[in-house]
Structures are given as C-alpha cells and as structure tokens.
Chain A
Amino acid sequence: MPEPASNRAPETGAFFQRDRHWHPPAFTPGYKSSVLRSPQKALIAFDNTLSELTGPVFGHAMLGELDNDLIHNFARPGESAIGERIIVYGRVLDERGRGVPGVLLEFWQANAGGRYRHKKDGYLAPLDPNFGGCGRAITGEDGGYAFRTVRPGPYPWPNGPNDWRPAHIHFSAFGHGFAQRLITQMYFEGDPLIWRCPIVGGISNKRAVEALIAALDMQSTIPMDALAYKFDIVLRGRRSTLFENRPEGN
C-alpha cells in the first residue's frame, strides 16, 4: 500500500511563482468596486521565505457532522433547504498534478433564489429559513472532497444598470503554505450568464475561465435525489529540492 501522503516528510521547497496574467489583474474597471480598491504600484517580488512556505494545519477533528451538507446544516430538524439538490465534488491538486491532502475548503453561496443570508443583501428574492449558505470540508489523502447543497440562483447586483451574477459557489482554499492561500468561485456548466459577468470578465484567458466551470457528472448523481458537479481546484505547486540553493559555507 502506498504511504499516506500525510505521513510523508513535509515538503519545504518554494512555491512556483504566480502567473499574474492568468489571474484577473487588480484593476478591472468593468467591475466597478475594483477601481478604488486596486493597488496601482508594482508588487515587490521575492522568493518565498519561511513566512510564506509555512502555514497552519486544520485537522478533521474540527469538522461537525453536517459541515459538508448545506441542505441540512442550517435547517430545522426534519426539514431541508429548498432548491435543486446537488453534490459538488472534486480534488484539490497542485500544479504538478498531485492531490493535496489536508486542505481546508470553506464554501459559501446564495440560496436557490439567489439571496444571501446577509444584512447587506437586499435582493427581492426571499430567504429560505432552512438555508444558511456556508459549509466546509478537509481534503482526504488523494486531495478529494465532496459536499451537498442546493444549486444557488443567479442574482442582479449594483454594478452596471443590469448586471447579473451567474450561479456560483465561493471557495476558500487553505493549502500547506500561506503563499498558496486562494479564494475563487465555481460556476456551472452551460450557464449563459458566465460570459456576461464583469467579475468573470476580469480574467482575460478563456481557458482560465473554463477552469472555474464545474462539469455536470451524471455518473456521480444519486438517482431520485441529487445531480452532481465536478470541480477541481489547483493550488500553487512546489519546487522540488533536487539541487537546493545553499548559502556559501554550507
């Protein structure tokens, strides 16, 4: 049997540099909120130090039984959230294609009507008394994770006069080093709003957008219960330490 990844010696190589052209830039005027919130000076680059190579660890023991079940984790006993029942599953990989175990994933979303349980959200669509909108999971040895939820609705938002967000689920990922910290959003295959969205539009490369679109997977559905979408997340890879750069004298 292969050794569980979590028993391997921790890797300490520096992370691959971030491809800033693949990510959306800070300033994307089509998304108006970015205009006054985007740094304008050049980022100062440096190779990772221990402060970026290290990161906190989250153990499976912190998870509650319903943390990965948004259909039930806020619902009254015996009740469940309204909406199209789905399973979201996938793997967290690094840029070398290896599963990353022990990644804390936190996700949040609007309800089936496109309304968030948040005092700043005033959309007409009603709250669902049985839906909170948050969940979390920690990836297994192969980087795998899964959770149940309802498909979130699209919603209008104050940006242009008539902008709508495509249906999406927010993801926060905690890799092994603080430099891998990432927040992104998952979109749904076939949603025509994806290509009209000013936030998505901040990403200039079509393939990069497609990397955020989850695929419908009929083979992972539960008949008479839930559809399934596969969403893999890729975190920065780590340089191997074949020939480590050592200071003089070592």
Chain B
Amino acid sequence: MAQSLDRLKESPSQTAGPYVHIGLTPNFCGIGGVYDSDLGSAMVNGETKGERIELRIRVLDGTGTPLKDALIEIWQADAAGLYNSPAEMRGAADPNFQGWGRQPTDMETGVCLFQTIKPGRVPFRDGRLMAPHTTLWIVARGINIGLHTRLYFSDEEEANAEDPILARIEHRVRVPTLIAERQGDTYVFDVHLQGEKETVFFDS
C-alpha cells in the first residue's frame, strides 16, 4: 500500500432526459414567470464587435432523424480571439460578448439557431493558432454524457488546413464532419450521432 492521493471522483453523468427544457430553457417550454428570460438565448447586442453570423444546427440520430428534444450549448472566443473568462490571461475580451449561448432544438423541425459572431483565432498550447471554431456541448434524452465537438467554418480553408486539432484526426475522411457550410451569413451544421457520417466527438 502507498499513501492515498485523497482524490474524489467526478460525479457520474446522467442523461438530461426529455424534459431538459424545464430546467434550462423554462420560458421556451411554457414555464413563464420564474426567470425573466432563458439563459444564453441572446449572445450579441448592438455593441458586439465582429461579423454577425447565424449557426443553423441539427442533431441527427442513427436513422438520420433530427432530434427534437436536444439542447445545445456553444462556447466561443470573441472576434479578436479572446475568451470572456477569468481563465483568459491574454487580455480583456469584448465586454459586449459573453461567448456562451444555449438553445433547444425546435420541437417540430429539430433546427437550432444561434445568432452570434465569427470567432477569432485562439492559440493552441504550443502557440500555433487554431482555426476559428465554436465548441459545442450537446445533451438530450438518450445521451448519457454530454457530447463535446467543434464547429469549424467552411470559408476558413487555409486556417482549417493548419489547425492542430483537425490535424489529429487520423481518418481524414471524417474531418468534413466538423466543418459548417457557409450559405450567405448562415453556417449550416449537421451533427450525426452515428453512421457513416458520424461527427467527430472529443474527449478533452
């Protein structure tokens, strides 16, 4: 026997279930009057710096059917590549951009929309720049532990080509699963939970 490290174990994850809206977006599911608004529903205001974009995201199950009861959170840097977080040591982020958003997928169509800005580039651990990206965290009934992935942008080909995380993906045929396609000011991104087009998910 050696000394104990005295560590605790992380609380095990459990599914968010079909009624996740009650807790995280109560106004969306008709529970009014408890909170003024649903947290994370508005990411930008008139003062936010950067190019206004829309993210149009769906989450599809193993049959290709869109999930209508999922909830997506996104986290991204501001237009200058700074995170609005105390752990950001490189400078102050745009005070008009929190960088975090939360949206349920539409109960009829499964579409989830975020009005945000195009993020700037953020350095990797060794100082190289990562390509602009948005981090996604997806929960739903049937998902036992929140899924972590990234959305990269189709019009950033050069940056994407030198991104250290994308470079880690051994099976290059899977890289496009992380790249949202630009259509006007909207980026369209389908997350495939299973199948040939299964999105790359991360453990980080």
Kindly list chain A residues whose C-beta atoms are within 8 Å of the C-beta of B61.
36-37
Residue of A47, A51, A67, A119 ringed by the most chain B CB atoms within 10 A: A51
**Of the candidates A20, A38, A97, A202, which one forms a contact with B203 in the assembled complex, judged by CB atoms under 8 Å apart?**
A20
Which of the residues B34, B87, B99, B142 comes within 8 Å of A132, measured between beta carbons? B34
B89: Cβ under 8 A from any A Cβ: yes
B16, B84, B198: which contacts A39 (Cβ < 8 A)?
A: B198
Q: Can you give 9 contacting A-B residue pairs, CB < 8 Å? A: A12-B89, A47-B125, A49-B130, A51-B75, A58-B39, A132-B34, A134-B26, A211-B12, A247-B125
Q: State the A residues within 8 Å of B (CB).
A: 10-12, 16-20, 22-26, 28, 31, 33-41, 43-58, 62, 64, 66-67, 73-74, 93-97, 106-108, 116-121, 132-136, 170, 172-173, 176-179, 181-185, 199-200, 202-203, 207-209, 211-212, 233-237, 245, 247
Nearest CB of chain A from residue B35's CB, rounded to whole Å: 7
Interface bits B1-31 vs A (CB < 8 Å: 1, else 0): 0000011111111111111111110100111
Determine if B96 is an interface residue (Cβ-Cβ < 8 Å). Answer: no
Q: Does B69 contact A (CB under 8 A)?
A: yes
For B77, the chain A residues whose CB sits under 8 A away are 50-51
- Do B13 and A24 have beta carbons less than 8 Å apart? yes
Residues B26 and A132 in contact, CB atoms below 8 Å apart:
yes
The stretch that binds A, out of B48-56, B144-152, B153-161, is: B144-152
Kindly provide the distance from the CB of B94 to the nearest chain A CB, expressed in whole angstroms: 13
B147 near A181 (CB under 8 angstroms)? Answer: no
Of residues 143 through 182 on chain B, the ones whose CB sits less than 8 Å from some CB of chain A are: 143-148, 150, 165, 168-169, 174
Whole-angstrom distance between the Cβ of A102 and the nearest chain B Cβ: 9
Interchain nearest-CB distance for B107 vs A (Å) = 8
Q: Which residues of chain B are near A172, meaning CB under 8 Å?
A: 16, 23-24
Contacts of A177 in B (CB 8 A): 87
Given the complex of chains A and B, what is the CA–CA distance between A50 and B11 in angstroms? 23
10 cross-chain pairs, A with B, having the tightest CB-CB distances, nearest first: A108-B23, A33-B142, A54-B85, A37-B142, A36-B62, A43-B203, A54-B83, A56-B100, A10-B86, A185-B14
A86 to B99, alpha carbons, bound, how many Å? Answer: 36
Distance of A49 Cα from B29 Cα, bound (Å): 35
Q: Is B183 an interface residue (CB 8 A)?
A: no
CA distance A16 to B203 in the complex (A): 11
Q: Give the size range of B's interface with the partner.
A: 35 or more
B145 touching A23 by the CB < 8 A rule? yes
User: CB-CB < 8 A to B194: which residues of A?
Assistant: 36-40
Asked whether, in the complex, the Cβ of A43 is within 8 Å of the Cβ of B202, the reply is yes
Contact B12 A209 (CB under 8 A): yes
Question: By the criterion CB–CB under 8 Å, are B8 and A97 in contact?
Answer: yes
User: Known pairs A39-B198, A119-B30. 20 more at Cβ < 8 A?
Assistant: A12-B89, A33-B141, A34-B143, A36-B142, A38-B144, A38-B194, A47-B125, A50-B123, A51-B133, A54-B87, A58-B39, A64-B34, A67-B35, A95-B7, A96-B8, A176-B87, A181-B137, A183-B20, A199-B15, A208-B12
Q: Is B18 a contact partner of A120 (Cβ separation < 8 A)?
A: yes
Taking a contact as CB atoms under 8 Å apart, the answer to whether A134 and B83 are in contact is no
When chains A and B are docked, how far (Å) is the Cα of A12 from the Cα of B137?
A: 21
CB < 8 Å neighbour of A31 from B73, B87, B144, B148? B144
> Chain A nearest CB: distance from B174 CB in Å?
8
User: Closest CB of chain B to A61's CB: distance in Å?
Assistant: 12
**Could you tell me if A26 and B202 are in contact, using CB atoms closer than 8 angstroms?**
no
Chain A proximity of B199: nearest CB distance (Å) = 8
CB of B85 within 8 A of CB of A57, answer yes
Q: Give the contacting residue for A24; candidates B10, B12, B198, B200; CB below 8 A.
A: B12
Q: Is the CB of B34 within 8 A of A134?
A: yes
Contact B202 A95 (CB under 8 A): no
